[in-house]
């Protein structure tokens, strides 16, 4: 089947993936494979701008790749690789940095946010982060980048850098990537407050056992006003209900929506129903993951092969780039 174009997306190596990663990104990645040539990158170099030590980098990269594959990334169709395996991206980053104004980079809200988060480590890599991100995208001649609505300005900035480069060197060597708006679900953690994340320890790991999943779901914060089993609840303010709407059959969602409001169902039962549905949903993922774990070195081979295929595209792009720049 003819594909619509090439998609690029990258994510930092965060190790074992959680439900927020799955609903927010991975499931989109899997679906996009039907329509696009997909290039999915584990951006380990980007991670270096914030990590204090690299001792977990290899393991986190491996675990993340394992989860992506178990979730349905098909390495025979898509390219799955590690950013640092294609050194051409560093070269392109350098060239693009020469057509990017420093003031624009330091004005970006994402940079300002990073300064707030790590005032003791405002490194050069942080400033150039959007330039490296642009290099990631354009190196593989990507047509579209799937992002949520709040991420669209990043791609617009990448487009500006590409225009500057193409204008400066009077070339069409680099493609301006288009935004593909995707519904990126913001999944709230089990604390019922913040976005699900490992660092906040409010996550539910995809690879956890059914029993561990039930335990984590039991810890989920519900409608805070519902103190006793006999109190009526309000599902509209309950994260468990939000998750039911994503994971559970409509008939069950409707039942909870009605029964919660009249104290016809208790939170313990409601959570157990969600955990059961979630475990059922994750069954194929967990089976595939167990199979992949048993095939020693399979994941490494996939990443190696993906790196080779990505590099072949990158090297062609860099020939065009160097020619356009008339480098001696």
Chain contacts with ligand SF4 (rule: CB under 6 A): 222-223, 226, 233, 235, 238, 240-241, 256, 260, 265, 267, 270-271
Q: Which is nearer to ligand SF4, 116 or 228 (CB)?
A: 228
- In whole angstroms, what is the distance from residue 240 CA to residue 190 CA? 9
| Listed residue (119, 37, 34, 110) closest to 79, CA to CA | 37
Give how far Cα 215 sits from Cα of 27, 202, 211, 235, 264, Å. 24, 12, 6, 21, 23
| Listed residue (136, 180, 220, 159) closest to 36, CA to CA | 180
Q: Which is nearer to ligand SF4, 127 or 265 (CB)?
A: 265
**Min CB(273)–ligand SF4 separation in Å:** 8
**Min CB(270)–ligand SF4 separation in Å:** 3
Residue 271 DSSP symbol: H
- In whole angstroms, what is the distance from residue 50 CA to residue 48 CA? 5
Q: Which is nearer to ligand SF4, 53 or 230 (CB)?
A: 230
Q: Which is nearer to ligand SF4, 115 or 225 (CB)?
A: 225
**Min CB(274)–ligand SF4 separation in Å:** 8
| CA atoms within a 13 Å half-sphere pointing along the CA-CB vector of 196 | 26
Q: Which is nearer to ligand SF4, 78 or 248 (CB)?
A: 248
- In whole angstroms, what is the distance from residue 306 CA to residue 85 CA? 9
Taking phi first (over 0 means left), then psi (-120 to 50 degrees means alpha), and beta for anything else, what does residue 326 get? left
**Min CB(278)–ligand SF4 separation in Å:** 14
User: What ranges make up the beta strands (E) of 249-303?
Assistant: none
**Min CB(262)–ligand SF4 separation in Å:** 10
Structure tokens at 235: 């599902």
**Min CB(3)–ligand SF4 separation in Å:** 41
Q: Which is nearer to ligand SF4, 93 or 271 (CB)?
A: 271
**Min CB(272)–ligand SF4 separation in Å:** 10
Strand order in the sheet with 79-82: 79-82, 37-42, 6-11, 144-147, 178-181
- In whole angstroms, what is the distance from residue 85 CA to residue 311 CA? 8
Q: Which is nearer to ligand SF4, 117 or 258 (CB)?
A: 258
- In whole angstroms, what is the distance from residue 86 CA to residue 313 CA? 10
């Amino acid at each position: 089947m003819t594909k619509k174009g090439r998609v690029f997306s990258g994510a930092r190596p965060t190790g074992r993936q959680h439900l927020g990663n799955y609903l927010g990104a991975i499931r989109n990645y899997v679906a996009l494979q039907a329509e696009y040539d997909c290039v999915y990158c584990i951006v380990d170099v980007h991670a270096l701008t914030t990590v204090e030590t690299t001792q977990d980098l290899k393991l986190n990269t491996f675990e993340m790749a394992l989860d992506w594959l178990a979730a349905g990334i098909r390495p025979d169709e898509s390219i799955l690789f590690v950013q640092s395996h294609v050194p051409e991206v560093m070269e392109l980053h350098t060239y693009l940095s020469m057509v990017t104004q420093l003031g624009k980079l330091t004005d970006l809200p994402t940079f300002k946010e990073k300064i707030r988060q790590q005032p003791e480590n405002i490194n050069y890599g942080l400033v150039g982060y959007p330039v490296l991100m642009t290099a990631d995208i354009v190196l593989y001649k990507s047509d579209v980048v799937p992002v949520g609505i709040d991420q669209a300005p990043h791609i617009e900035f990448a487009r500006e850098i590409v225009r500057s480069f193409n204008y400066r060197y009077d070339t069409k060597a680099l493609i301006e990537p288009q935004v593909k708006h995707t519904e990126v679900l913001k999944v709230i953690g089990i604390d019922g407050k913040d976005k699900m994340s490992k660092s906040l320890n409010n996550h539910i790991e995809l690879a956890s056992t059914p029993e561990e999943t039930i335990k984590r779901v039991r810890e989920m914060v519900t409608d805070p006003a519902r103190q006793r089993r006999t109190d009526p609840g309000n599902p509209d303010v309950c994260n468990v209900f939000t998750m039911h709407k994503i994971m559970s059959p409509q008939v069950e969602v409707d039942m909870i929506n009605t029964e919660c409001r009249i104290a016809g169902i208790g939170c313990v039962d409601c959570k157990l129903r969600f955990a059961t549905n979630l475990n059922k949903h994750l069954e194929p993922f967990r089976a595939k993951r167990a199979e992949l774990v048993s095939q020693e070195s399979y994941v490494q081979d996939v990443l190696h092969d993906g790196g080779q295929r990505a590099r072949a595209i990158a090297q062609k792009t860099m020939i065009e780039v160097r020619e356009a720049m008339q480098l001696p």
